[in-house]
A and B are shown apart, each in its own frame.
Chain A
Amino acid sequence: MKNKIVSFYQKLKTRLTADEMFHQTEVQANRLGSLMLLISGIILVIILIMTAFGVFLLPLESVLSPAVQAIVEITVLLIICRIVKNDAWWLKPLLLIGIIIVYARLDSMLTHKVAILMVLPVVFSSRYFSRRLTVFTAILTSVVFLFSAAWGATNGMINVNIVTMPAGTVMVATGGFLGDAIKNAGVTDRMLITNTLLFDYLPKWLMFSVTAVISCNIAERGRQMVVTQHDKDVKSARIESELNLATSIQSAMLPNIFPPFPGRSEFDVYASMDPAKAVGGDFYDFFLVDDDHLCLVMADVSGKGIPAALFMMACKIMLSDNAKVGKSPAQILTDANAAICSSNREDMFVTVWLGILEISTGRLVAANAGHEYPVLKNESGEFEIYKDKHGFVIGGMKGMKYKEYELTLKPGSKLFLYTDGVPEATDADGNMFGTDNMLNVLNKDPGASPAQTLKNVREAVDGFVKDAEQFDDLTMLCLEYRG
């Protein structure tokens, strides 16, 4: 027997416990239920007071007892809601049944005056977003209100409009209510009950059933909306975790261990990339082609985010593959352009500055495909924009040819490469950082190590844009040639 009770309890609990995604909804609905009870309780108290002062013409003795009982029930329910903080699996049926009983009691007292009471529980139940629960509430309400109507027909306010009398009946006023006079005129309880059910309850129930259908629909639609929202949340959480993974894959693709060539004292190189979104379209790259040749790349893919990042990965691999077989910078860009153009449906393009440094001599051969001018610190000891020859961006047009140029780095020379995210960093008022500011920062501390140089520029950019959102990827590379 005990086992049966336990298993019944478990079954009931499982059945009534809301799915995880509906849990919040249910707590909110419970809160609404307790609010509804609180308001009803206040209204009851007001009715009682007004009846006591004779504003409402009700027989106080017949109103007092059911009203007080209802107020006690409401108080108990409110205390329970408060104790469990509107959050318990058994609260939903308890509240619904409680609300039906409280309203049925009021209905039996005030009868035809409060026709709207009957629809309240079923409208409220739709807030739980369960059609089954709303149907259950509708059926329970129909039955309970049937009894309350029957009871109220003789004990509540008598609806004189539904009392029929044979012609010639004489009524004698006894002072007080018309209902009392009617009873004295020989109207039977049986007639009152029959007529109430037929002329009061039945039309009320018909209107009620329309409300119940609408409430079912609201509950069903609400349920769909919660499920849809839940699916969307799950999806966006998945996309976010995938994006985080993509960010780490992308940053791992770029050389990011510094110093990168611990054995080489002839040069020092440092680089960084801060994407504006989770993933970016900028990239830098550097690697030794052979013992004496260091290849440096700075590039910026059109657009931002995932499309730019996908394109960037392809470009990075294509450039380094072409460079590692020993081609010249112009040839690397020309071949990469041909390869990218052959499979570029979205008209994406990438601006590239690519240089190959002969470490032993300081000879730098470079080519520029639509990228920002490099900044060079040579004999003058100052960082200056080096206005190099420009070709068209890579991936834009088939058959583009690129030209290369040559310059010689002296010991102490520095090369600063960047993407437009640096000069075009924008503050809240729409002002751009600009190349002049960039040069000023570089020249404030021209002897700084590459790592320190990048830190200085980054700080200056951050100080300039302040709270404005970073709009573009911010990528920099600095090479110091020691010879």
Chain B
Amino acid sequence: MLNIQKTIENETANVALEGRLDTVTAPDLEKTLKEILPGLKSLVFDFEKLDYISSAGLRVLLSAQKAMNAQGGMQVKNVNETVMEIFEVTGFSDILTII
């Protein structure tokens, strides 16, 4: 239910998510990030086709944000209304760089 597309170029990774990021699918993303994070300078999430994010998904984003704080930067782009509302309610809009 979650489709993860990743492209990596010159220490910059672009990760596009499609579907739902919830308890069931969050471990998939966690595994993908664990593989690509080492040595990464910049991480960009594309949420254009992400329909929903649950607290388990937020946890993975939080881990990624913490890791990228130490080694570069992380951005989230194309956030839709539903997901944006969740970011705002949970205060994640304050700690994520949303463009």
Contact = CB atoms under 8 A, between A and B. Distances in A.
The answer to whether A and B belong to the same complex is yes
Interface of A: 300-304, 347-349, 351, 369-373, 390-393, 396-397, 420, 424, 471-472
Interface stretch (B7-15, B39-47, B72-80, B87-95): B87-95
Given A390-B88, A391-B91, A396-B95, 6 more contacts: A300-B55, A302-B55, A303-B23, A349-B62, A351-B90, A393-B92
Interface in B8-59: 23, 54-56, 58-59
Interface residues of B, number: 16
Nearest to A394: B91
A302 B89 contact: no
A392 B95 contact: yes
Interface string B59-99: 10011001000000000000000000000111110110000
A392 B66 CA distance: 14
B23 A370 contact: no
Given A300-B55, A303-B23, A370 B95 contact: no
A351 B55 contact: yes
Contact of B91 (A348, A390, A471): A390
Contacts of B62: 347, 349, 396-397
Would you call the interface of chain A mostly helix, strand, loop, or mixed? Answer: loop
A369 B59 contact: no
B55 to A, nearest CB: 4
Chain B CB within 10 Å — which of A300, A301, A303 has the most? A303
Contact of B66 (A347, A351, A391): A347
A372 B55 CA distance: 12
Contacts of B91: 369-370, 390-393
A396 B90 CA distance: 11
A303 B90 CA distance: 14
A433 to B, nearest CB: 14
B88 A397 contact: no
Closest CB pairs A-B (n = 9): A392-B91, A302-B55, A370-B90, A370-B91, A347-B63, A302-B59, A303-B56, A390-B91, A347-B62
B58 A302 contact: yes
17 contacts: A302-B55, A302-B59, A303-B23, A304-B23, A304-B56, A347-B66, A349-B55, A349-B59, A351-B90, A370-B89, A371-B89, A391-B91, A393-B90, A396-B95, A420-B54, A420-B55, A424-B54
A392 B65 CA distance: 14
Nearest to B26: A303
A303 B59 contact: yes
Contacts of B95: 392, 396-397
Contacts of A471: 23
A391 to B, nearest CB: 5
A436 to B, nearest CB: 13
B26 to A, nearest CB: 8
Contacts of B23: 303-304, 471
Contacts of A348: 59
Nearest to A348: B59
A302 B92 contact: no
